[in-house]
Amino acid sequence: MGVSPLPSWPVNELAALSVEALQKAALSRVEQAWQRCLEVYPQLPRPRVWFDLKGASAGQAHLGRGGLRFNPILLSDNRTAFFDEVIPHEMAHWLVFHLQGGQRLKPHGREWQSVMRNLFGVAPLVTHRFDIQKAQPAPYGYRCSCRTHQLTARRHALVVKGRRYRCRHCQQALVYTACDAS
Burial (CB count within 10 angstroms: exposed 0-12, middle 13-18, buried 19+), residue 124: middle
Question: How far apart, in whole angstroms, are the C-alpha atoms of residue 7 and residue 4?
Answer: 8
Pairing state of beta strands 175-180 and 140-143?
antiparallel
Identify the DSSP state of 166.
Answer: B
Is 90 known to be catalytic? yes
Burial (CB count within 10 angstroms: exposed 0-12, middle 13-18, buried 19+), residue 75: buried
- Marked catalytic residue, from 13, 31, 90, 111: 90
Residues known to be catalytic: 90
